[in-house]
Amino acid sequence: MSDQKQLAVKSAVDSWNSTIKSANVLFSSLGDEQFAKEVAPGKNRGIYLLGHLTAVNDLLLSLFGLGEQMYPQLNDSFLKKADKAVTDLPSAKELKEYWKNVNAALDKHFAGFTADDWFKKHTSVSEEDFAKEPHRNRLNVLLSRTNHLSYHLGQLALLKS
Amino acid sequence: MSDQKQLAVKSAVDSWNSTIKSANVLFSSLGDEQFAKEVAPGKNRGIYLLGHLTAVNDLLLSLFGLGEQMYPQLNDSFLKKADKAVTDLPSAKELKEYWKNVNAALDKHFAGFTADDWFKKHTSVSEEDFAKEPHRNRLNVLLSRTNHLSYHLGQLALLKS
């Protein structure tokens, strides 16, 4: 039943979309002051995690071969370096705008994907390796990124009073 | 390509297994004292989240029609009630043992599942509704539970010093 392939893709994309939606609701409820706080004493600040999640989603555009990263200037502060290693970060307000724009771009692409498109290779695996390891496809990356987002959302939710 | 159905199932099950494995590594690194702490000031204690995750996984046995819940005595303290509403909780050591046993039981069942088994309905959806909404299957629940686990793992990781 190829219907089941469609169902599996639907479950994965629905899970991604609903996690993004939960993030949007949470981020809207938090102001600059709350994002400036650490999620727990001595741990990452909210703003760092917001920038980190934005940069990770932004990288999906190139990883899926859909286009260039929109905000490559985030990589150094939010992917290569740890929190507190950089002092001049964008504001939470700016990052929330980037977050929205990156997800809108992804959403536009994902809405046009067929089920088969999700089983195509991502750009960080070679044709040779993909022939041997066909599970290294976009769907697999989407599941992994959904979990990564959930992991940090659990932490960011602690900023709510 | 029905291969793609298999690939999608493999990605979802791999994602579940690797998240359970991360949880095992984290839980082994935390002792009773750390589990007794709140993940952030005024928030849930580690022990509550450990019991909560154990009870949620335990419920998958009945939700997937695989058998009875192993530790129904956890439901009241860890699913129905909030943290700190109950004073006589099992120890973290006991809960870690339950966690291990529940996951071993699930793993035994999952290892025997065919790809088709993942597209069967779970027990909380009626035959009529499932005919109209075939995405309400075991695979969909597995993805949702993997995210839920990741969410709380992000919080529990904050207990590490």
Residues of chain A with pLDDT under 50: 1
**Looking at the predicted complex, does its ipTM rise above 0.90?**
yes
- The pTM of this model reads 0.97
Residue B116 with chain A: CB contacts under 8 Å: 1, 4
Cβ partners under 8 Å of residue A43, min gap 6: A155, B158
Does B130 contact chain A (CB < 8 Å)? Answer: no
Asked if the C-beta of A152 comes within 8 angstroms of chain B's C-beta atoms, the answer is yes
Residues A67-107: tens digit of each pLDDT:
999 999 999 999 999 999 988 899 999 999 999 999 999 99
A148 at the B interface (CB within 8 A)? yes
Nearest CA to B51 out of B14, B91, B85 is that of B91
Record: contact A7-B119, CB cut-off 8 A: yes
Q: Are the C-beta atoms of A138 and A144 separated by less than 8 Å?
A: no
- Helix B92-112 and helix B46-63: axis angle, to 10°? 30
Residue B150 has its nearest CB partner, among A39, A147, A157, at A147
- B77-115 pLDDT tens trace: 999 999 999 888 999 999 999 999 999 999 999 999 999
CB contact under 8 A, B158 and A43: yes
Please give the pLDDT value at position B2. 52
Q: How far is CA A108 from CA A11, A102, A128, in A?
A: 18, 10, 30
pLDDT tens digits, one per residue of B107-144: 999 999 999 999 999 999 999 999 999 999 999 999 99
Given this model, what pLDDT does residue B1 score?
Answer: 47
